Structure 1
């Protein structure tokens, strides 16, 4: 039997029953699941100050996210309601402390907890409503069929008192009317449940505005970094290669004047000019390497980091598991971020061993740099690590640092990207 069109398609009896059964299943899962998830989350977060929650909270909140993500999947599959997640990425290898506070700083975590409160109340009611809209008319038909005899005296069906066969038939007639009226409501009620879920779980306009602010800041940082890089290149050219080339030109002029008068002095100046040309070429190569290392352009990030490690005075092990190459700007940002971290480790950590790990999983380029130095590294304003964080932020990347006093120090970087 086909009723009326809704949303471009016909609503059949089968779809009505399916919506009712789906809503009933959601209600049976939503109420206990939301209660358990909310209570466990609150208890785990409350235990963070004494240390226990540092271990349990990431696991609990990951479970809550899985519970919410399952509802997102059902909303898309059953009612074509799309609910964006908007969780901030976390480094996969971050320690429990960084994961806990990273998740607690994420507004999406608190949206999830608010949604659990809604899901165990209004969400439960809206999920149960499709089944109720289908079952209530069936109850009236059952009364008309004779089941009115097993109900107690004074029983009412809607506004009809059921006291005998005649009133039971009246209840049945009302049930038919309600069944005709409610024939479109179970699917609509299920759709309303998912719209309510989206209203609570989807990022708010304030969060989107914050995202725009962060993107504006990272763009400004990228522009400032580019401008500073251009000034550095100009300064290095002026003070280095350019000065040597000017001196070499002056030496060649002097050689030309002395060639006939003092050949021995001309030969000494010629050797000096030759050395100046070698030094200028070396400085130009170093300058080019500082802009974009040739090995990075030719061989990719893995080999570029290996070459970087070979030049370090500290023994360094490099493990690379990359199935392809990222875009050139991503590779460049990752390379110079690793270079900065290694420079800090060599200068400040006192380490005698460094380990570098590069791999790509789940659409993320993940880089870990660990040293066995004295520790104590922090991300603070004006520090090299803060500059790395800004550099990665341009690509929606994140930086996590674990550096307890006494070491070791582990710096983890993640950049969303695809490999060619």
Structure 2
């Protein structure tokens, strides 16, 4: 019997190869981090030069651009720390004043603003110390590996090298043409150095990331200031949103139910006057009053549902979303974990965020199907709404998604939109929360 022979990779061998590959990658990334110290030093020199020129005035114009360059280099290091070492280093900078593009006085204020930012001075400290400490951490694995490889080169070419007088010592081993054993000793030492370099590369890369976080992460005071600023902005958004909601409720009541109730009262008064002398007309007026009362009741129910749907208050978020899906113009599939009952404001924020995304999909996406996924774990409520429409949705392109972003930000929530042209569109939302009580609900379903 003949045929192709299937080869299977030994799992242990594959794991070893993967580990070696990770260590080689870590060493290479260390070399990249060393190269990043060069633009950091150049940016440091530019900032120092611009500060020196402040005495003659031109420095006021040069300092902000130089600091921006330095910040971009530092931001790149922050991104690499997160991507390569899994270390989150938030941006620590204060927001720039909006009026810095005015006249000379505004430019002076802008220059003083960036100089007063503590993060600027921490960036300068990083840019002058990282070429020493960071470079040492980054280059040590590469130096060990290259020195080890040189040991193999000596083993292979020890004769010509020593005869040419290039070098006759390898670390502590004296390599001579008369003693071939010393050349083979260099190979053993070189192998040990290569192993040591590859072995320490991941650990030193992590230490390098922690070193970057030590200087480039925001201080506790800066974190608190940004937190206060965020809370101030979200509180202002919440106040504006509530005021707009109250105006909408007042307008809907005035134009809808209130008008119908006024008409109903007028019809009842007229019917009371005509009841004895014109019973038929009175009867018609009473029928109109009955219709007006039914329509007013429907409008009030719709208004209450828009404020806080009864099914949301009675059954919780998942069942409220399923009820929302049943009323949608599109086929909607709902997949949800048993979320339980959340705090009422959080449930309302999550419900209306999903409702807004679903409305946008029905109006603009030209989708044929929508899928809603709701998961709760680790104190975070995750919601994803996916449609198979034409794509092109963006938070910056419309007020709907921007309003959702403001609504979620009030509770420290976030929204992310992935919507390439041609689709699909995936809107992912997260809210930090805790489930207060379990609630029995089906885990998935199609509405």
TM value normalised by structure 1: 0.57
For residue 370 of structure 2, what is the aligned residue in structure 1? 354
For residue 266 of structure 1, what is the aligned residue in structure 2? 282
Structure 1 CA distance for aligned equivalents of residues 307 and 91 of structure 2: 34
For residue 304 of structure 1, what is the aligned residue in structure 2? 320
Structure 2 CA distance for aligned equivalents of residues 34 and 120 of structure 1: 19
- 2:384 alignment partner, SS class: strand
1:328 positional shift: 1.1
For residue 223 of structure 1, what is the aligned residue in structure 2? 239
1:260 positional shift: 1.2
1:61 matched to 2:90: no
1:362 positional shift: 2.3
Q: Which has the higher contact order (CA 8 A, sep 6+)?
A: 1
Select 1:377's aligned residue among 393, 397, 403: 393
1:341 positional shift: 0.6
1:259 positional shift: 0.9
For residue 365 of structure 1, what is the aligned residue in structure 2? 381
Select 2:329's aligned residue among 291, 313, 323: 313
Structure 2 CA distance for aligned equivalents of residues 307 and 35 of structure 1: 55
1:118 positional shift: 5.0
1:203 positional shift: 2.1
Quickly say closer, same or farther: Cα 1:38–1:281, change in 2 above 3 A: farther
Structure 1 CA distance for aligned equivalents of residues 80 and 331 of structure 2: 36
The size of the alignment, in residue pairs, is: 270
The equivalences for 1:285-304 within 5 A come to: 285-304=301-320
Structure 1 CA distance for aligned equivalents of residues 30 and 250 of structure 2: 58
1:60 positional shift: 7.8
Structure 2 CA distance for aligned equivalents of residues 122 and 377 of structure 1: 42
1:363 positional shift: 1.8
Quickly say closer, same or farther: Cα 1:350–1:246, change in 2 above 3 A: same
Question: Is the CA contact (8 Å cut-off) linking 1:397 and 1:415 kept in structure 2?
Answer: yes
Structure 1 CA distance for aligned equivalents of residues 299 and 402 of structure 2: 29
Quickly say closer, same or farther: Cα 1:196–1:301, change in 2 above 3 A: same
Quickly say closer, same or farther: Cα 1:198–1:373, change in 2 above 3 A: closer
**Per-residue CA shift, 1:126-159, capped at 9, x if unaligned?**
xxxxxxxxxxxxxxxxxxxxxxxxxxxxxxxxxx
For residue 141 of structure 1, what is the aligned residue in structure 2? none
1:324 positional shift: 1.9
Quickly say closer, same or farther: Cα 1:341–1:38, change in 2 above 3 A: farther
Structure 1 CA distance for aligned equivalents of residues 85 and 323 of structure 2: 43
1:254 matched to 2:270: yes
Structure 2 CA distance for aligned equivalents of residues 286 and 123 of structure 1: 65
The equivalences for 1:130-141 within 5 A come to: none
- 2:277 alignment partner, SS class: coil
1:242 positional shift: 0.8
1:270 positional shift: 1.1
Structure 1 CA distance for aligned equivalents of residues 329 and 30 of structure 2: 52
- 1:380 alignment partner, SS class: helix
Question: Is the CA contact (8 Å cut-off) linking 1:255 and 1:269 kept in structure 2?
Answer: yes
1:258 positional shift: 1.3
Structure 2 unmatched ranges of 5 or more: 1-23, 37-77, 93-118, 138-207, 437-447
Quickly say closer, same or farther: Cα 1:291–1:41, change in 2 above 3 A: farther
For residue 322 of structure 1, what is the aligned residue in structure 2? 338
Question: Is the CA contact (8 Å cut-off) linking 1:123 and 1:197 kept in structure 2?
Answer: no
Quickly say closer, same or farther: Cα 1:86–1:122, change in 2 above 3 A: closer
Deviates more, 1:297-306 or 1:32-41: 32-41
**Per-residue CA shift, 1:4-53, capped at 9, x if unaligned?**
xxxxxxxxxxxxxxxxxxxxxxxxxxxx9986655467999xxxxxxxxx
1:332 matched to 2:348: yes
For residue 218 of structure 2, what is the aligned residue in structure 1? 203
Structure 2 CA distance for aligned equivalents of residues 336 and 243 of structure 1: 28
Quickly say closer, same or farther: Cα 1:405–1:264, change in 2 above 3 A: same
**Per-residue CA shift, 1:372-407, capped at 9, x if unaligned?**
111111111652111111111111111111111111
1:262 positional shift: 1.5
1:393 matched to 2:405: no
Structure 1 CA distance for aligned equivalents of residues 337 and 30 of structure 2: 39
**Per-residue CA shift, 1:236-276, capped at 9, x if unaligned?**
11111111111100000111111112111111111111111
